[in-house]
Amino acid sequence: MKVGIAGLGRMGRRHAENLARHVPGCELVAACSPVVEELEWAGRELGVPRRFADYEAMLASGGVDAVFLVTPTTLHAQQIVDALQAGKHVFSEKPLSLELAECRRVEEEAARHPGLKVMIGFVRRFDAHYQSAYERIRAGAIGKPFMVRSHTLDKNDPSGFFVRFSETSGGMFLDMSVHDIDTARWLLGGPQPVRVFAAGTVAVHEGLRQWGDVDNGMAIAEFADGSIAYFGASRTMAHGFEAQTEIVGTAGRLTVGPVPRADDVAIADAHGVRHECTPTFYERFAGAFLNEARDFVAAVRDDRPPALTLHDATEATRIGMALRESLLTKRAVEL
C-alpha cells in the first residue's frame, strides 16, 4: 500500500515518520506541502521519493493508494472529497469539519465509493489504556455504562499561540472537546444526543474574548437513552497535558488516566512525592498515533471497516458545535 501525505507541519512530520518507519505494510511514497523546507526534510530524512507543492498534483500523479491529511481543518472536507473522487483511501486528522453541511457532504461522497476507506483520526480510540477500558466495559466489568466524565487539559502556553489559533479552530470545545465527545460516544455505545449546556471563562488569555472563545470550559450533554456526560477543557494548566475519562456503569467505574504521569517513576524530593507530567498531548498519545496509522493501513489491506465511521466524526462535530452555541447563547441547546 502506497501512501501520500498532505501537510508536514508538526503533526504532519510525526505522521510521516510513523508511516515511513514504523507502520508495517505501507510505503510513504509521496508528500505535499506548500513549504519547501518541509518537502526537503521529507526527501532527506524519510527518503520520500515524490514531493509536491500542491495536493491536486499529488492526487493526479498516480502511484498512491491512500492519502493522509494533516492539513488545516478548513481543508479537510474538500480534500477528502477530492481524494475519494481520485480513487484513494483517506485518513484525515480530526475534526472532519467545522460545518455540519460539509460533514454530511463528505459522508455522502464516501457512500458513493464503498470500496474506499475513510477514517478521521480520533486518536484516543487507539490508545492502549482507552482500549483496555473499552474492552472491560464490553466484558461487563461495570455493568451497563450510563455516565461519562471526561476532560482534556493543556499546559498553559504563554506564547499566545492559543489566542491566534482560536480564530480558525472553532473554539475550545470544537478543537479540544471533540476528543472527549467522541470518547464518550464510543464508550457509551453511540447514543443520540438530545441536549447540551456549556459554560466557560477566560482566566488567563484575555485575547480569546475577541473570538468568543474561553480558556477554561465545562459542558453537559444528555442523550436519548438517559446517558449523561460531562466534558471539561482547559488551556491554562500549570502541570502539563491531561486527558482523563471516567465511565460509570451500574456495577462500577473506570477511570482512564487518573494521574497524568510522564513515566512510571515516583520522585521523592523537596517538592514532596510526585510524578512529572506529560507536557503535551503528543507524549501522552505517541503510541496511539502509531496504532491509529497501523489500524488504518490494516483496514485498507484487509478490506475491513475502519475502527470508526465518518458518521462518528459528524456526530462529534455536531455536538461540539452545539456546545459552542450554548456557550455563546448561555442557554441549553436542543439537538
Subset of 46-85 contacting its own copies (CB under 8 A): none
Minimum CB distance to its own copies smaller for 95 or for 232 = 232
User: From the CB of 260, what's the least distance to its own copies, in Å?
Assistant: 7
Q: Judged by CB under 8 A, how many residues of this single chain contact its own copies?
A: 72
The conformation of residue 125, written as its DSSP 8-state character, comes to G
Is residue 319 within 8 Å of residue 188, measured between CB atoms?
no
Residue of 71, 234, 291, 314 that binds its own copies (CB under 8 A): 234
Nearest partner of 179 among 95, 242, 99, judged by Cα? 95
Residue 219 binding its own copies, by CB under 8 A: yes
C-beta pairs of 325-334 under 8 Å, 24+ apart in sequence: 326/196, 326/197, 326/198, 326/219, 327/171, 327/173, 327/198, 327/199, 327/200, 327/212, 327/214, 327/217, 327/219, 328/212, 330/199, 331/197, 332/195, 332/196, 332/197, 333/195, 333/196, 333/197, 334/194, 334/195
User: From the CB of 256, what's the least distance to its own copies, in Å?
Assistant: 5
User: From the CB of 311, what's the least distance to its own copies, in Å?
Assistant: 24
Residue of 265, 302, 303, 305 that binds its own copies (CB under 8 A): 265
Site for its own copies, residues 2 to 21, rule: CB under 8 A: 21
Residue 144 binding its own copies, by CB under 8 A: yes
Residue of 138, 224, 258, 304 that binds its own copies (CB under 8 A): 258
Q: Position 289: which residue type? A: F
Distances (CA, A) of 289 to 44, 162, 165, 186, 272: 23, 23, 22, 18, 33
Minimum CB distance to its own copies smaller for 253 or for 304 = 253
Residue of 222, 295, 312, 315 that binds its own copies (CB under 8 A): 222
Residue 239 binding its own copies, by CB under 8 A: yes
Site for its own copies, residues 103 to 132, rule: CB under 8 A: 128-129, 132
Length of the chain: 335
- Using the contact rule CB under 8 A, the part of the chain among 29-37, 49-57, 252-260, 311-319 near its own copies is 252-260
Distances (CA, A) of 5 to 14, 26, 111: 11, 12, 23
Residue 302 binding its own copies, by CB under 8 A: no
Residue 304 binding its own copies, by CB under 8 A: no
Residue 275 binding its own copies, by CB under 8 A: yes
Residue of 100, 141, 298, 299 that binds its own copies (CB under 8 A): 141
Minimum CB distance to its own copies smaller for 6 or for 248 = 248
Query: Who's near 158: CB < 8 A, 6+ residues apart?
Result: none
Is residue 141 within 8 Å of residue 254, measured between CB atoms?
yes
Residue 36 binding its own copies, by CB under 8 A: no
Give the burial class of 281: count Cβ atoms within 10 A of its Cβ; 0-12 exposed, 13-18 middle, 19 or more buried. Answer: buried
